């Protein structure tokens, strides 16, 4: 009897703890949901479900510092920017759409990630062959989720849900990699024409999202892609590729101008743009200020700068991921992603314009 009383009290105490945690979690929610569209910087496992894609990260040593210590499909040693943004907003990480799409009762209400490693604004040839889910198809997948939630919640409740949710968009670097890696693309367009076309094509997809309820947008500008290990290793001096960086800045300027125009064109839209390029340059120029001592080499890989061979199970990896800016030849470590997310959430102009994410979701 004495034992049973103690057992009953234990279960009662456990239920109180669980319920109080639930209440605390729901009160901390700053938005109903986060819908993520983008590339490998925010992919949380969609590419795991693409049968022929080689753009995957569901093997060691990826996930080394993730809570489960296992690879999940994130191109990172631990959590990526999408996970860290969700944390800031008091939400669980948005699950990959392809892990839920066949489930009729899929829990879409807290958000979904449509992001796909290798994705771009354009439907590039690598994406046509099933290597990644391009932005247009990610938007198509969002429309399917929209339809499901309207059926589940009713039209007006769903409209309110989407209007208060955050749509996070992190895309564009793969389009620039494609352009500089393809003589055909360079023959068709000058670099200026190409970056203008990128911004204009993105605008068309944003209008589709807006038409189906999206109102609050977060945009990450493209980072200093000329300084990633994959670019440095091509240079004898291991310096940044300044041509890549120049056109990245040009695209980011076009993106900012497009967003400003869209704000006056579409009623009720609000957004936050984050200048990833400037923060990345700050980290590279003043690494010790941010706690880093390795800005050139990847943590995981093989060869010069650990950037000749990607992060594969046979690759070497560094013992201290927190002092490396880059996890592999393309992607940042969790430590770097955390600096980006801390800044985009609470930073000020001109890095966050016209507001930061905290201000955006509170508006």
The closest alpha carbon to 341, from 167, 112, 86, 108, belongs to 86
The closest alpha carbon to 225, from 152, 268, 174, belongs to 174
Q: Of these residues, 39, 40, 113, 178, which one is catalytic? A: 40
- Alpha-carbon gap, residue 306 to 287, rounded angstroms: 19
331: annotated active-site residue: yes
40: annotated active-site residue: yes
Secondary element (H or E) of residue 21: helix 2-28
Q: Of these residues, 94, 146, 328, 346, which one is catalytic? A: 328
Residues 269, 213 contacting (CB under 8 angstroms): no
Judged by phi (left if over 0) then psi (alpha if -120 to 50, else beta), residue 130 lies in: left
Strand partners, 324: 294
Angle between helices 334-346 and 276-285 (to 10 degrees): 130
Give 152's Cβ-side CA count (13 Å radius): 13
Angle between helices 135-153 and 155-164 (to 10 degrees): 130
The closest alpha carbon to 213, from 147, 257, 261, belongs to 147
Q: Cβ–Cβ contacts within 10 Å for residue 47, how many?
A: 26
Are β-strands 294-298 and 324-326 bridged in parallel, bridged antiparallel, or unpaired? Answer: parallel
Quick one: DSSP state of residue 52? T
Q: Of these residues, 161, 165, 331, 349, which one is catalytic? A: 331
- Beta strand spans in the chain (E): 34-38, 111-113, 166-170, 216-220, 270-274, 294-298, 300-301, 316-317, 324-326, 352-353
The residues carrying an active-site annotation are 40, 328, 331
């Amino acid at each position: 009897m004495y034992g049973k009383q103690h057992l009953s009290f234990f279960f009662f105490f456990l239920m109180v703890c669980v319920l109080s945690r639930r209440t605390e979690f729901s009160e901390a929610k700053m938005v109903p949901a986060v819908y993520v569209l983008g590339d490998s910087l925010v992919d949380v496992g969609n590419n795991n479900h693409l049968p022929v894609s080689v753009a995957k990260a569901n093997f060691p040593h990826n996930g080394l510092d993730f809570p489960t210590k296992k690879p999940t499909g994130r191109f990172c040693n631990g959590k990526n920017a999408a996970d860290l943004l969700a944390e800031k907003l008091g939400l669980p990480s948005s699950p990959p759409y392809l892990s839920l799409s066949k489930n009729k009762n899929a829990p879409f209400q807290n958000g979904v990630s449509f992001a796909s490693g290798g994705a771009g604004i354009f439907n590039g040839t690598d994406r046509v062959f099933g290597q990644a889910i391009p932005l247009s198809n990610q938007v198509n997948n969002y429309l399917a989720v929209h339809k499901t939630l309207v059926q589940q919640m009713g039209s007006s409740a769903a409209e309110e849900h989407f209007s208060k949710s955050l749509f996070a968009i992190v895309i564009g670097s793969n389009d620039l990699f494609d352009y500089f890696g393809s003589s055909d693309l360079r023959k068709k367009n000058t670099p200026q024409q190409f970056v203008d076309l990128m911004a204009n094509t993105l605008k068309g997809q944003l209008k589709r999202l807006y038409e189906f309820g999206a109102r609050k947008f977060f945009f990450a500008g493209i980072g200093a892609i000329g300084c990633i290990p994959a670019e440095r290793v091509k240079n004898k001096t291991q310096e940044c590729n300044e041509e890549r960086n120049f056109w990245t800045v040009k695209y980011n300027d076009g993106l900012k101008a497009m967003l400003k125009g869209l704000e006056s064109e579409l009623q009720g839209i609000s957004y936050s743009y984050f200048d990833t390029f400037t923060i990345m340059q700050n980290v590279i120029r003043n690494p010790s200020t941010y706690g880093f001592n390795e800005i050139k080499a990847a943590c995981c890989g093989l060869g010069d700068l650990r950037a000749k061979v990607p992060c594969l199970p046979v690759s070497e990896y560094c013992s201290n991921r927190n002092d490396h800016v880059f996890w592999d030849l393309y992607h940042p470590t969790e430590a770097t992603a955390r600096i980006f997310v801390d800044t985009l959430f609470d930073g000020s102009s001109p890095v966050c314009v016209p507001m930061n994410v905290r201000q955006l979701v509170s508006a």
